[in-house]
C-alpha cells in the first residue's frame, strides 16, 4: 500500500516518520531536505531511509492508495488543483483551518478540486502536538469520514501503541472543532502574555468551547463531537502547550507585539490567525453570537488593546449559563 504525504512541515514530517515504522512512505515537499533532517520545521529528528523524499508531485501521487494532505489551509486549494488521484485513492486532510474568503473546509476543497467522492475523503484531528508525537509520547486523535470503512483504513494504518485513533462520521464537527479551537487558543495565549491566572483561562476555555459548539450545531454538526478529541481535547492542549504556535502568537500579542511583527518572525503557520477571520464571517452568516472570537478579531486586526477586550467580555449583560 503506497502512502504519500503532501507537505513537509512539522506535522507532515512527523507523520512520515511515524508511519515509516510500518510501511514505506513518500513525502512530497517544495523545499529540498538535505541530510534526511528537516532542519527548518522539525530539527533534530532524522527521517528514516524508507521515507522517499521528493519534490515531484506526479511521482508522489502515482499509485498512492492514501494521499495525506498536510498543508497550510490557505495553500490547500492551490495544491489540490494539481492533484488527479486514482479512483481507489483515499484522501486524508490533517490540516486544521478554514479557507478565507470562501469559508470552505478542507474536505470540501478536496472534494471540489479533485472530484473524489466524500466516501473517499477523511479528516484527522485531535490534541496532537507534533514534537510530542514524533518522540513517541502517547497521544490520541479522531478520523472522520462519511464512509466508516474509509475512516477504518486510516485508523488501522495510523494506530500504534503510542498513537490511538478513533473514528467518527461527523466530518463537519471534527473539522470545525480542529479549526475553531485555534481562535480560542490565541485568546488563551493573550491571557498568558498579560500574566493572568488559571481562573481566567479555565473560564475562557469553557466559554470558548461553548461558542464553538453553538456555531457547529447551527451548521449541522453533532454537538457532542465538540466534547471529544477534536473539540475540548484539542482546545485544552493547544491552549496550554508551550509548543502551540497559536498560543505563542497570542502570548506575544498580550506582551505588546503587533501581529505583523509576530508573523514576520515565524517559520511555521499559525492557522488561528486566518481562521479568526473565517470564524467571524461564519458567525455572521449563521447568526450565532461568538463574543470571544469577535474580541480576538478586534485585537488582531483592529488594534484593540487586549485588556480592553477582556474588560468588554467581562462586562457584557448578565445572563444564565446555558450548556
Task: Single out the residue of 93, 282, 296 nearest to residue 175, CA to CA.
Answer: 93
Single residue among 139, 169, 199 that ends a domain in this structure? 169
The pLDDT score that the predictor gives to residue 86 is: 85
**What is d(CA 226, CA 208) in angstroms, rounded to the nearest whole number?**
11
Whether 142 and 224 map to the same domain: the answer is: no
- Assigned domain for 297 exists: yes
Contact 323, 210 (CB under 8 A): yes
- Assigned domain for 213 exists: yes
**What is d(CA 171, CA 166) in angstroms, rounded to the nearest whole number?**
13
Mean model confidence pLDDT for the chain: 96
Whether 191 and 136 map to the same domain: the answer is: no
Give bridge partners of residue 27 from the DSSP assignment. 5, 53
Single residue among 112, 140, 169 that ends a domain in this structure? 169
Whether 180 and 130 map to the same domain: the answer is: no
Contact 151, 254 (CB under 8 A): no
The set of catalytic residues is: 181
Whether 35 and 149 map to the same domain: the answer is: yes
| pLDDT tens string 137-157 | 999 999 999 999 999 999 999
**What is d(CA 232, CA 177) in angstroms, rounded to the nearest whole number?**
8
The pLDDT score that the predictor gives to residue 322 is: 80
Split at pLDDT 50, 70, 90, the class of 165 is very high
How many domains are there within the chain? Answer: 2
| pLDDT tens string 55-113 | 999 999 999 999 999 999 999 999 999 999 888 899 999 999 999 989 999 999 999 99
Arithmetic mean of pLDDT, 112-117: 95
Whether 128 and 212 map to the same domain: the answer is: no
- Assigned domain for 216 exists: yes
| pLDDT tens string 192-204 | 999 999 999 999 9
**What is d(CA 308, CA 35) in angstroms, rounded to the nearest whole number?**
49
Q: Sort strands 121-125 and 90-93 into parallel, antiparallel or unpaired.
A: parallel
- Assigned domain for 137 exists: yes
Which CATH number covers residue 72?
3.40.50.720
Whether 47 and 75 map to the same domain: the answer is: yes
- Assigned domain for 319 exists: no
* DSSP codes, 272-321: HHHHHHHHHHHHHHTT---HHHHHHHHHHHS---HHHHHHHHHTSPP---
Whether the predicted pLDDT of 164 surpasses 90: yes
- Assigned domain for 305 exists: yes
Whether 37 and 111 map to the same domain: the answer is: yes
Q: Which domain holds residue 262?
A: 172-314
CB neighbours (10 Å) of residue 148? 14
Whether 144 and 198 map to the same domain: the answer is: no
Whether 160 and 177 map to the same domain: the answer is: no
The pLDDT score that the predictor gives to residue 87 is: 80
Whether 256 and 190 map to the same domain: the answer is: yes
Whether 14 and 114 map to the same domain: the answer is: yes
- What percentage of the chain exceeds 90 in pLDDT? 95
Backbone angles phi, psi at 128, to 5 degrees: -125, 90
What does the angle CA 305 – CA 266 – CA 17 come to, to the nearest 5 degrees?
A: 135
Q: Is 145 helix (H, G, I), strand (E, B) or coil?
A: strand
Q: In what order do the strands lie in the sheet with 163-168?
A: 51-54, 25-28, 3-6, 66-69, 90-93, 121-125, 139-145, 163-168
Task: Single out the residue of 164, 94, 99, 166 nearest to residue 125, CA to CA.
Answer: 94
Which CATH number covers residue 229?
1.10.1040.10
Arithmetic mean of pLDDT, 277-289: 98
Within 8 A by CB and 6+ apart from 301, the residues are 259, 276, 277
Whether 127 and 55 map to the same domain: the answer is: yes
Single residue among 128, 153, 169 that ends a domain in this structure? 169
- Assigned domain for 320 exists: no
Amino acid at each position: 500500500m503506497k502512502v504519500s504525504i503532501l507537505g513537509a512541515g512539522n506535522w507532515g514530517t512527523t507523520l512520515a516518520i511515524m508511519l515509516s515504522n510500518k510501511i514505506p512512505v513518500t513525502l512530497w515537499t517544495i523545499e529540498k531536505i538535505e541530510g534526511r533532517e528537516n532542519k527548518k520545521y522539525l530539527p533534530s529528528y532524522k527521517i528514516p531511509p524508507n521515507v522517499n523524499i521528493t519534490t515531484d508531485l506526479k511521482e508522489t501521487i502515482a499509485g498512492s492508495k492514501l494521499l495525506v494532505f498536510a498543508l497550510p489551509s490557505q495553500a490547500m486549494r492551490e495544491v489540490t488543483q494539481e492533484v488527479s488521484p486514482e479512483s481507489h485513492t483515499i484522501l486524508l486532510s490533517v490540516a486544521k483551518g478554514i479557507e478565507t474568503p470562501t469559508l470552505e473546509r478542507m474536505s470540501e476543497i478536496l472534494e471540489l478540486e479533485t472530484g473524489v467522492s466524500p466516501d473517499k475523503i477523511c479528516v484527522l484531528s485531535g490534541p496532537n502536538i507534533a514534537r510530542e508525537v514524533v518522540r513517541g509520547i502517547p497521544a490520541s486523535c479522531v478520523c472522520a469520514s462519511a464512509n466508516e470503512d474509509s475512516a477504518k483504513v486510516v485508523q488501522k494504518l495510523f494506530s500504534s501503541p503510542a498513537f490511538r485513533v478513533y473514528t467518527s462520521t461527523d466530518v463537519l464537527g471534527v473539522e470545525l472543532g480542529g479549526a475553531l479551537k485555534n481562535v480560542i487558543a490565541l485568546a488563551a495565549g493573550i491571557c498568558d502574555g498579560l500574566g493572568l491566572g488559571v481562573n481566567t483561562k479555565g473560564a475562557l476555555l469553557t466559554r470558548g468551547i461553548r461558542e464553538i459548539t453553538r456555531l457547529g450545531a447551527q451548521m449541522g454538526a453533532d454537538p457532542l463531537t465538540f466534547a471529544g478529541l477534536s473539540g475540548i481535547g484539542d482546545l485544552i492542549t493547544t491552549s496550554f502547550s508551550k509548543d502551540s504556535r497559536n498560543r505563542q502568537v497570542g502570548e506575544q500579542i498580550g506582551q505588546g507585539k503587533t501581529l505583523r511583527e509576530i508573523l514576520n518572525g515565524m517559520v511555521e503557520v499559525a492557522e488561528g490567525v486566518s481562521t479568526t477571520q473565517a470564524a467571524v464571517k461564519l458567525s455572521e452568516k449563521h447568526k450565532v453570537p461568538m463574543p470571544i472570537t469577535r474580541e480576538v478579531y478586534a485585537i488582531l486586526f483592529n488594534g484593540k488593546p487586549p485588556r480592553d477586550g477582556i474588560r468588554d467580555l467581562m462586562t457584557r449583560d448578565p445572563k444564565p449559563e446555558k450548556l
